[in-house]
Chain A
Amino acid sequence: MIKGIWRSTHFLLAVSVSIFLIIASVTGTFLGIEAIVDQSQKEAISDLDKISLKKTMDSLQNNFLEVYEISVTEKNQVLVQGITSKGFETVFVNPNTGKKLDIVKPKNRLSNFMKNLHRSLFLKKTGRILMGFISFLTALLVITGFLLLINRIGGFNKIFRPLKEKQFFRKSHIELGRLFVIPIFFIAISGFYLTTARFDIFNSNKSTHYDYKAGEKYVDLDKFYLDKVKNVIYPFSSSENDTYKIQLSNRTITLQQGDNSLLSEDIHSTPFLIRAWAYWIHTGESNILIAVLLTLTSLTLIFFIISGLFISSKTSWALFKFSNIDFNEAKIIILYGSETGNTFQFAKKLLKRLNQDGIKATICSLNKYNFFPKAQVFIFMTSTYGEGDAPSNADQFAYKFKKYKQLKTIEYTVLGFGSKSYPKFCSFAEDINSLLSQEDNYSELYPFFKINNQDANEYSSWEKKLISRFNS
């Protein structure tokens, strides 16, 4: 029952986010590749954690007449704004030598387009809210999907067991699901957090401020490494009031020029740090491995939507659209239990065949089991879910069977569908068979039979023999 709720929730969530998710994952793939490419350029410095701020500042002194500002970008580039012999310039530098690597080029227009589409669908604020909400729904989608996955595999401890699923889309949906469940969850949650931070939902202080007297505490710039530095604003003029302002990853400090004495410190608040972390996770701009993982995850998401579509079109669609039922008139009732829709296809096939022979038959899922006034024969056709459980449209059968007692004696037969590669091959069908064999007013029409991997030949021979019983 609960599984049914997860399944329909998972399905509904997927349908409602799929269009947005397609946009987000296609643009996400592009941005991921861009982040990988950017980090392979010569401007991206790989060993920022080994270069001290002092060394960089000293080396810049030899190459610039005056430095205004050093920034270490999210993409691990070191950007300097200052005056050279050519006048004012904004350039990428090598932090070891202080030499110019390249001038800053305008951003690729395609990249801006993708980023905008990814963040807000060109809808400004509305788009931001929408995409934030989609992220939130995606996180829920991951959770429901994960619960279904555990259920399917048969328990949390079996999560890494090899799969016995045969059908390509189902197999890959589950296989990729367990591989990518964590990355997708983190992308969704960080995307959601970035949106909430944008709208200041948790309305918190940015930092806590501390003042120091000049000479009270000194700072050694040799101990600051560039991976922890965001930017350095040089003193505006040589006036004593103008200070160094250094933004580090967790705080901002101001230093007196000349002796580097600490004047003030602003420790960033936790929400601010979480935002930085969410940005780091969500963009992969400063870590090439994360960028690769993000790209793969985006591609996987696209595949998820496609495979999910195939699975649901086979299952849900087939299960929902069919409703011919005239229970009060039918002599033969086909009672089916189907998870993926395959068994349902066989049940329909049998119904068609019986109708051709002019027999008044109807079809009904096991959960819709009811009082059938004119019934003479029950034909059970059911698959088994996971570790011997009922398929989702059959899990209330045992209860309903006790509730609705039939008046006449019923002849019955059970046909199980399953795969021999599962240890609990057709075990739900077996359960039904043994349940009926214990009832007094039920007699077996034709022996219990199992079909492996939807074998069409096995089915045909079973059908032929069954029909011959009716005609005899």
Chain B
Amino acid sequence: MKILLNILLIILFLGYSKNEEMISLKCMVEITDYRGEGAYFSISIIDEKDLYLKTVYVLGNDKTWFSEMKSFWKHLKINDLYLDDEFYPLIEGISGPTISGGETRILQLKIPKLLYNKTNRLRFETAVEDKGYYTDDINVELNNESLSKSYQGNGFIRNIKFILPVK
């Protein structure tokens, strides 16, 4: 009976995730003119209680430094997402080439429609090896009104702006 229930749950979950509707957000990130190695980035959707709901984008080319993004790292650890074999492909799957001081990158962020225009927030965590770490380099509300403005970052991000989803 329990197994059956589990199977049912899995089927439900798979069905749900397949049909999970995504919206695309175009986003431009400008990095400050620091010197040194490439930046480590994680962009996540968090709720009002700062709980991680979804990882949207991760950037960084050396696994050893991911732990510098302390809050994000804790989330991965607590939720057992950091399994050596699965974590890395996951990270790479949604990442692009690294970005260093003075550079600009245009990203496309996929956001589940269910999480958009609610009370959730979009958090940009950044770290550059041991040069510094910012939990909330950018932390903005995830809704149409707030994303129509541009923002200055608190750390390695100089400036950020969005183009709202059309649909």
Contacts and interface: CB of A to CB of B under 8 A. Distances in A.
A112 B104 contact: no
Contacts of B92: 106-107
A120 B37 CA distance: 13
Contacts, number: 67
Given A68-B106, A125-B130, A206-B101, A106 B93 contact: yes
Contacts of B104: 233, 245
Interface in B94-120: 96-97, 101-108
Interface in A58-92: 68-69, 71, 73, 79, 81, 83, 87-88, 90
Interface stretch (B12-20, B28-36, B39-47, B135-143): B28-36
Nearest to A127: B64
Contact of B106 (A69, A106, A125): A69
A306 B63 CA distance: 33
A124 B97 contact: no
Given A73-B97, A124-B130, A116 B105 contact: no
Contacts of B89: 106
Interface residues of B, number: 30
B62 A71 contact: no
- The B interface is mostly helix, strand or loop, or mixed, namely mixed
Interface of A: 68-69, 71, 73, 79, 81, 83, 87-88, 90, 106-107, 109, 112, 115-116, 120, 122, 124-125, 197-200, 204, 206-207, 231, 233-234, 236-237, 245, 247, 252, 266, 272
Given A116-B63, A124-B130, 7 more contacts: A68-B107, A83-B108, A87-B24, A124-B129, A198-B37, A206-B35, A236-B106
21 contacts: A68-B108, A79-B97, A83-B108, A87-B24, A90-B96, A106-B88, A106-B92, A112-B63, A116-B63, A116-B64, A124-B64, A124-B65, A124-B129, A125-B129, A199-B36, A206-B101, A207-B33, A233-B104, A236-B161, A237-B163, A247-B103
Interface of B: 24, 26, 28, 33, 35-37, 61-65, 88-89, 92-93, 96-97, 101-108, 129-130, 161, 163
